[in-house]
Structures are given as C-alpha cells and as structure tokens.
Amino acid sequence: MAYLAENSQAPDFTLPDANGNPVSLSSLRGRKVILYFYPRDNTPGCTKQACRFAELNDELTKLNALIVGISTDSPSSHQKFIAKFNLPFILLCDEDHTVEEAYGVWQQKNLYGKISMGTVRTTYILDEEGKIIKLYKRARAATNPQDCLKLLQELQA
C-alpha cells in the first residue's frame, strides 16, 4: 500500500482512544490535525517524538491544530504512556493495523536482515476539512514535531 497523496482527502476512520472511547477523524473537523503514526509506546524514538509534541502542544493549539498519535498498542499501553510522560493529546489504538494500512504506513521493514511488517514513522498534516496538506514520510522522531510547528506557522503567516 502506498502513502496517501498530498492534496487528497484523508480517509475517515474510528479508533478507540486510551480509555476505549471511539474517536472518528471526521469528528475532529474544524481544526488542523497532526496525525502521526509511530511504532510503539515507551521506545526511545517514540518517546522522544511524543514528548516533543507535548512540549509544543500549546503553540500548536494556538494555531488551531490538534495532535493525534496512532500506533498498534493497546488502550492500557497508551494509558501508561500518557501517564508516564504527561501527554496532553489523543493516542488512538489501531491494534489490527487497518488504519495504518489505509494510510500506507504499515510496511515491510528490514532490520539487520530480518524482514517483518510494521509501522513506518509517518506524519500527515490535515486541514480543517480533512484534506492532506503535508506528508512526512519516514519522519525523524527528534525533528518531526518542530517541522510540523514550522509548517503550520508558515501557513498562518
């Protein structure tokens, strides 16, 4: 499955949040959405990315943007991750990777010669109507949150 193209409509979905409550992408319309897909809770890169998004949350909120993280982790894993790092944004559970497949981020990975399927760190920025403004393929955990903020500030200017 290929990544979704910029300027295309992001497919709607409904996934459970950390408390098991269903969240639909369409319910977030009216705000820009930073939809970031990451491999696993509590791993070094994913923690760095989540904490950096948390640090920038207030600035992103002022730009009418909402952060939504998605991984294949369970609600209980997300609850622990949110509590441990005081994350102020939504984490959604895509345990069967259906949404990750629809967004083209569930891909074959090669780690030290071992081939497996998994989540490729990817961020989509959506406009208020759910259209994809920007795609960050193979996003860098350390710099992706700042890249998102910079882009949204430029769009606001």
Strand partners, 5: none
Query: Could you tell me the sign of the dihedral formed by the alpha carbons of 35, 37, 42, 45, in that order?
Result: negative
**46, 51, 93, 148: the active-site residue:** 46
Whether 46 sits among the annotated catalytic residues: the reply is: yes
Selection from 98, 86, 92 nearest residue 54 by Cα: 86
Contact 123, 37 (CB under 8 A): yes
Q: What are the residue numbers of the active site? A: 46
